[in-house]
Amino acid sequence: MSRYFMQLAYLGAPFHGWQSQPGEVTVQSTLENALSILLRTPTAVVGAGRTDAGVNARRMIAHFDSDAVTDIAAMPRGLNSIMGPDIVVERIWPVADDMHARFSAVSRTYRYYVLTRRSPFFNKLAWTTRPLDFNAMNRAAARLLDVSDFTSFAKLHSDARTNICRVTRAEWVECGESARYFEITADRFLRNMVRAVVGTLVDVGRGKLSPDGFDDIIARRDRCAAGTSMPAHALYLWDVRY
């Protein structure tokens, strides 16, 4: 069998996350169903990560193995016609047999979008709040570059073997008069980590927590000390690098 990578984007709202679950519509199960129809044989898909319910992806990478591919250039159009408008497969290409969508990735980037003014066009794609002190939030976010243990932002009772991550970028970026996004890049992410980090940074932006207090929360290694987990609809898996 040959191995193939696929690049896809999807809206998170219609799906109960990435991973297949009995009785639930997920991104993985939708992809596997479409591939199995197109290739006329059961085909499993492995993703670069497991986004939670409601989380979007601008660039997810997945792989599958098959000896039934005959016209790779036509596959994205065929898959998209089966799956509907909420998932788009953008391209498919062959890779070496030892390439793995999850384990071969060297970095992943997420963005969390925030509006400080209501918008009828983007309210369902970003989180809306009153104005925040983004300068203070950036001072706190910079501390993440010196952190290795992210236990304070890890989902309780998770099955992760380690809470060690290496963050190489963490910054709030202006992208409009009343819009910002938080971009964070790391070699790996813990479940719910980005939403917990953003929730704690929002506490800084509201003046409930200082940048030094943000440091203290990191040092405590206690999820209960950190901020709330932010709503999923404003979070995007933005990029995966190999």
Closest CA to 130 of 145, 139, 117, 119: 117
Handedness of CA 68, 69, 70, 76 (dihedral sign): positive
Buried-state track 24-44, b at ≥16 Cβ within 10 A, e below 16: eebbbbbbbbbbbebbeeebe
52 is annotated as an active-site residue: yes
Q: What is the CA radius of gyration of the chain?
A: 19
Catalytic residue (one of 52, 71, 133, 212): 52
List % helix, strand, coil for the chain (3-state, nearest 5).
30, 30, 45
User: In 11-75, which ranges are E strands?
Assistant: 46-47, 56-66
Structure tokens at 151: 């236990």
Tokens of 36: 């199995």
Could you give the angle at the alpha carbon of 75 between the alpha carbons of 70 and 78, nearest 5°?
120
Residues with catalytic roles: 52
